[in-house]
A and B are shown apart, each in its own frame.
Chain A
Amino acid sequence: MADTKGVMIVGELAEGKLTSTTTELLGAAKKLAGDLGQEVIAVILGSGVGDAANEAISFGADKVYAIDNDMFADYTNDAYTGALEKLNAEAAPEVILMGQTSMGLDLASRLAFRLGTAVILDCVDLAIDPDTKLMQKTKPVYGGNAIAVYVGETKPQMATVRAKTMEPLQQDTSRSGEVVAFDPGLDVSTVRQKVVDRVKEEIEGIKLEDADVVICGGRGVGSAEAFDELRELAKLLNGALGASRPPCDSGWVPTNIQIGLTGKMVAPTVYIGIALSGSSQHQAGMSGSKNIIAINKDPEANIFGIAHYGVVGDYKKVIPALTEKCKELLSG
Chain B
Amino acid sequence: MNMIVCVKQVIDPETPSASFKIDPDAKRALASKDKPMVISPFDENAVEAALKVKDANGGKVTILSMGGETAKDVIKHSLAMGGDEGYQMTDAAFDDSDSYATAANLAEAIKKIGEYDIVLCGRQEADWDAGQVGTGVAEILGIPSVTAIKKIEIQDGKAIVERVLADGYETIEVSLPLLVTVSNEIGEPRYATLKGIMAAAKKQVTNWSSADVTPAQARSQMLKIYIPVHEGECTFIEGDTPEEAGANLAAKLREAKLI
Contacts and interface: CB of A to CB of B under 8 A. Distances in A.
A279 B259 contact: no
Interface residues of A, number: 89
Contact of B237 (A193, A264, A309, A330): A309
A140 interface: yes
Interface stretch (B56-64, B109-117, B140-148): B140-148
A319 B232 CA distance: 25
Given A106-B135, A146-B22, A193-B173, A311 B246 contact: yes
A196 B29 CA distance: 43
A145 B20 contact: yes
A141 B129 contact: yes
B135 A145 contact: no
B37 interface: no
A119 B13 contact: no
Contacts of B129: 121-122, 139-143, 261
B145 to A, nearest CB: 6
A102 interface: yes
Interface residues of B, number: 87
B254 interface: yes
Contact of B135 (A110, A151, A196): A110
Nearest to B254: A329
B242 interface: yes
Contacts of B103: 113
A200 B167 contact: yes
B243 A281 contact: no
Of B139, B160, B242, chain A has the most CB atoms within 10 Å of the CB of: B242
B213 interface: no
Main SS at interface, chain B? mixed
Interface stretch (A22-30, A176-184, A249-257): A249-257
A196 B245 contact: no
Max count, chain A CB within 10 A of own CB: residue among B22, B188, B244, B253: B253
Interface string B165-184: 11111111111001000011
B50 to A, nearest CB: 18
Interface string B78-105: 0000000000000000000011100100
A291 B223 CA distance: 33
Contacts of B128: 141-142, 148
B219 A152 contact: yes
Contact of B249 (A147, A192, A293): A293
A280 B253 CA distance: 25
B132 interface: yes
Contacts of A112: 132, 136
A255 B183 CA distance: 11
A200 to B, nearest CB: 4
Given A192-B174, A311-B242, A293 B132 contact: no
Nearest to B164: A102
Contacts of B206: none
A197 B246 contact: no
Interface in B26-73: 27, 29
Contacts of B225: 141, 146-149
B172 A329 contact: no
Contacts of B16: 300, 302
B157 interface: no
A143 B99 CA distance: 17
A145 to B, nearest CB: 5
Interface in B191-250: 219-228, 230, 232, 234-237, 239, 241-247, 249-250
Nearest to B135: A109
Nearest to B160: A196
A98 interface: no
A194 B234 CA distance: 50
Contacts of B99: 109, 118
A121 B171 contact: no
A248 B170 CA distance: 19
B132 A119 contact: yes
Interface string B8-28: 000101111110101000010
Given A105-B147, A330-B259, A309 B136 contact: no
B148 A310 contact: no
A232 interface: no
10 contacts: A108-B132, A121-B130, A136-B223, A142-B29, A148-B27, A270-B258, A318-B243, A321-B246, A321-B250, A326-B253
The 7 closest A-B pairs by CB, nearest first: A321-B246, A109-B132, A325-B250, A313-B242, A317-B242, A118-B219, A113-B139
Interface of A: 76-78, 101-102, 105-106, 108-110, 112-114, 117-122, 136, 139-143, 145-152, 154, 192-201, 213, 237, 245, 248-250, 255-256, 261-262, 264, 269-270, 277, 279-281, 291, 293-295, 300, 302, 304-314, 317-322, 324-326, 329-330
Given A142-B20, A145-B15, A146-B227, 4 more contacts: A108-B132, A199-B171, A309-B252, A313-B239
